[in-house]
Amino acid sequence: MSDADAIARSAADAMWAGDRATQAMGMTLDTVTAGRAQISMTVREDMVNGHGICHGGFIFALADSAFAFACNSRNLVTVAAGARIDFLKPAKLGDRLTGVSELVHQGKRSGIYDSVVTNQHGEVIAQFRGNSATIGGPLTEIKES
Binding residues (CB under 8 A) for a second copy: these are 14-22, 24-25, 45-52, 54-58, 60-62, 64-65, 68, 77, 79-88, 90, 104-105, 107, 110, 112, 124, 127, 129, 131
* Percent of the chain that is helix, strand, coil (3-state, to 5): 25, 40, 35
Least distance between a second copy and beta carbon 121 (Å): 15
- For residue 108, the number of C-alpha atoms closer than 13 Å in the C-beta half-sphere is 0
- Report the residue number, 58 or 119, with the smaller CB distance to a second copy: 58
Give the nearer residue to a second copy in terms of CB position, either 17 or 145.
17
Dmax (CA) of the chain = 53
The residue among 34 and 66 lying less far from a second copy, judged by its C-beta, is: 66
Choose among 102, 111, 103: nearest CA to 135: 111
